[in-house]
């Protein structure tokens, strides 16, 4: 028979969550509007309750112990789920319809969100809840109606439908082109190169199209977010390979210049992920709407 273990209070868990996130009682206190000693006291209460040390004191700082890391993973997820549940309940008290959407962070910021006003105009009484997510997750568990996924046609427990290809191009800022003029595609490889760490193969894919095996395409600056690569490219730091969806504003303004197209070769594309079963009317309308947004600029798959 399982032992009935008392559940710590929300205030205790929030203090632990903030301290684990910042690796600092002081920063956690600033986030929560508490005193440093108050956060420390709440964490000590949690340690006493579970019988394990959660933080190791290192000079003036703190670091999670193994037990602390294990607990933090679960607490982050559980509190995030609880916040989402409460948000949905609050929204449900004010409207009959809610649509929850998850999308890749940079795609959401630079392409989806700027277009959402158009969808809201069509459905003014529909409340939207938008979350940023980079990896597949359990749609039902997190209460997500529609997710935008980039990658292979593989999302366990979800129904995937094609949205569009990625449409990669090589771009550079006009200032960089003044010092590194491009007459042929091979000239691009003489520029400083910018890389997305998770897509480090892209410059090699481009190199094969110019038949130049001597260029050192793995050198250059690396970034872990497309938004950082875009900023670096727009500021003349180097040439970059980027999806056109993420740089529409820069291409339109001339801050970035399209130099060549690139074929990734991975077969990855954008997909719409929905829970198995029948779609809610708002979700079905959103899928129709977003496909219309895509069809205006590129032929769907």
pLDDT digits (tens, 9 = 90+) for 123-177: 988 889 998 888 888 888 788 999 999 988 888 888 999 998 888 999 999 999 9
Region 253-263: mean pLDDT is 95
Question: What is the C-alpha to C-alpha distance for residues 299 and 288, in angstroms, rounded to an integer?
Answer: 15
Predicted pLDDT of residue 251: 95
Predicted pLDDT of residue 4: 62
Q: Which two tokens stand for residue 182?
A: 């491009």
59: domain CATH number?
Answer: 1.10.10.10
Residue 300 has pLDDT above 50, yes or no: no
Q: Report the phi/psi class of residue 154: left, alpha or beta, with left for phi > 0 and alpha for psi in -120 to 50.
A: beta
Residue 20 has pLDDT above 60, yes or no: yes
Judge if 252 and 113 occupy the same domain. Answer: no
Question: What is the C-alpha to C-alpha distance for residues 84 and 38, in angstroms, rounded to an integer?
Answer: 26
Instruction: Give the single-character DSSP code of 220.
Output: S
Judge if 61 and 191 occupy the same domain. Answer: no
User: Sorting pLDDT into bands at 50, 70 and 90, what band is 257?
Assistant: very high
Q: Choose among 24, 33, 37, 28: nearest CA to 64.
A: 24
Residue 233 three-state SS: helix
Predicted pLDDT of residue 81: 74
109 burial class (0-12, 13-18, 19+ CB within 10 angstroms)? middle
Predicted pLDDT of residue 92: 59
Boundary-marking domain end, from 64, 88, 112 = 88
Question: What is the C-alpha to C-alpha distance for residues 101 and 114, in angstroms, rounded to an integer?
Answer: 14
Region 273-278: mean pLDDT is 89
User: Sorting pLDDT into bands at 50, 70 and 90, what band is 82?
Assistant: confident
Judge if 272 and 256 occupy the same domain. Answer: no
Boundary-marking domain end, from 39, 69, 88 = 88
Residue 256 three-state SS: coil
Region 30-48: mean pLDDT is 88
Boundary-marking domain end, from 30, 58, 88 = 88
User: Sorting pLDDT into bands at 50, 70 and 90, what band is 3?
Assistant: low
Domain annotation covers residue 37: yes
User: Sorting pLDDT into bands at 50, 70 and 90, what band is 59?
Assistant: confident
Predicted pLDDT of residue 30: 87
Domain annotation covers residue 55: yes
Q: Which two tokens stand for residue 32?
A: 């929560």
Residue 224 has pLDDT above 60, yes or no: yes
What value does the mean pLDDT of the chain take? 87
Judge if 172 and 258 occupy the same domain. Answer: yes
Region 199-226: mean pLDDT is 88
Q: Report the phi/psi class of residue 113: left, alpha or beta, with left for phi > 0 and alpha for psi in -120 to 50.
A: alpha
Residue 46 has pLDDT above 60, yes or no: yes
Domain annotation covers residue 157: yes
User: Sorting pLDDT into bands at 50, 70 and 90, what band is 91?
Assistant: low
pTM: 0.67
Domains held by the chain: number: 3
Which range among 60-69, 104-113, 181-190 shows the weakest confidence by mean pLDDT?
A: 60-69
Judge if 160 and 131 occupy the same domain. Answer: yes
Between 45 and 142, name the one with better pLDDT. 45
Domain annotation covers residue 146: yes
Judge if 208 and 291 occupy the same domain. Answer: no
Between 6 and 47, name the one with better pLDDT. 47
Extract long-range pairs of 82-90: CB within 8 Å, 24+ residues apart: 84/129, 84/131, 84/142, 84/143, 85/143, 87/129, 88/129, 88/143
Judge if 223 and 82 occupy the same domain. Answer: no
272: domain CATH number?
Answer: 3.40.190.10
Residue 94 has pLDDT above 90, yes or no: no
Region 96-116: mean pLDDT is 90
Share of the chain above pLDDT 90, in %: 44
Judge if 281 and 136 occupy the same domain. Answer: yes
Residue 212 has pLDDT above 90, yes or no: no
117 lies in which domain range? Answer: 97-164+268-295
CA-to-CA separations, 40 to 28, 32, 78, 232, 261, in angstroms, rounded? 10, 12, 21, 40, 55
User: Sorting pLDDT into bands at 50, 70 and 90, what band is 248?
Assistant: very high
Judge if 248 and 209 occupy the same domain. Answer: yes
Check: CB of residue 240 under 8 Å from CB of residue 194: yes
Between 296 and 129, name the one with better pLDDT. 129
Domain annotation covers residue 75: yes
CA-to-CA separations, 211 to 119, 155, 269, in angstroms, rounded? 45, 36, 26
Judge if 144 and 279 occupy the same domain. Answer: yes
Determine how many CB atoms are found less than 10 A away from the CB of residue 193. Answer: 24
The CA-CA-CA angle for residues 35, 39, 43, to 5°, reads 165
Share of the chain above pLDDT 70, in %: 92
């Amino acid at each position: 028979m399982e032992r009935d273990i008392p559940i710590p209070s929300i205030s205790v868990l929030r203090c632990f969550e903030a301290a684990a996130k910042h690796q600092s009682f002081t920063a956690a206190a600033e986030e929560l509007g508490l005193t440093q000693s108050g956060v420390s006291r709440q964490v000590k209460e949690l340690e006493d309750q579970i019988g394990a040390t959660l933080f190791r004191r290192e000079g003036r700082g703190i670091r999670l112990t193994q037990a602390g890391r294990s607990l933090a993973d679960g607490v982050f997820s559980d509190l995030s789920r609880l916040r989402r549940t409460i948000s949905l309940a609050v929204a449900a008290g004010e409207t009959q319809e809610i649509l929850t959407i998850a999308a890749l962070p940079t795609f959401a910021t630079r392409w989806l969100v700027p277009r959402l006003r158009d969808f809201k105009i069509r459905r003014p009484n529909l409340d939207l809840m938008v979350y940023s997510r980079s990896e597949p997750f359990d749609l039902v568990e997190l209460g997500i109606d529609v997710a935008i996924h980039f990658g292979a046609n593989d999302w366990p427990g979800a129904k995937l439908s094609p949205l569009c290809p990625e449409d990669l191009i090589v771009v550079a800022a006009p200032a960089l082109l003044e010092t590194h003029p491009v007459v042929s595609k091979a000239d691009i490889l003489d520029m400083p190169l910018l890389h997305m760490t998770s897509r480090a193969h892209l410059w090699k894919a481009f190199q094969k199209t110019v038949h130049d095996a001597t260029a050192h395409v793995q050198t250059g600056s690396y970034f872990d977010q497309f938004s950082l690569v875009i900023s670096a490219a727009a500021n003349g730091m180097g040439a970059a390979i980027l999806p056109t969806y993420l740089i529409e504003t820069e291409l339109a303004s001339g801050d970035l210049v399209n130099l060549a197209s690139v074929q990734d070769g991975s077969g990855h594309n954008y997909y719409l992920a929905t829970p198995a079963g029948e779609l809610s009317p708002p979700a079905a309308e959103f899928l129709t709407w977003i496909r219309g947004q895509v069809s205006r600029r590129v032929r769907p798959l």
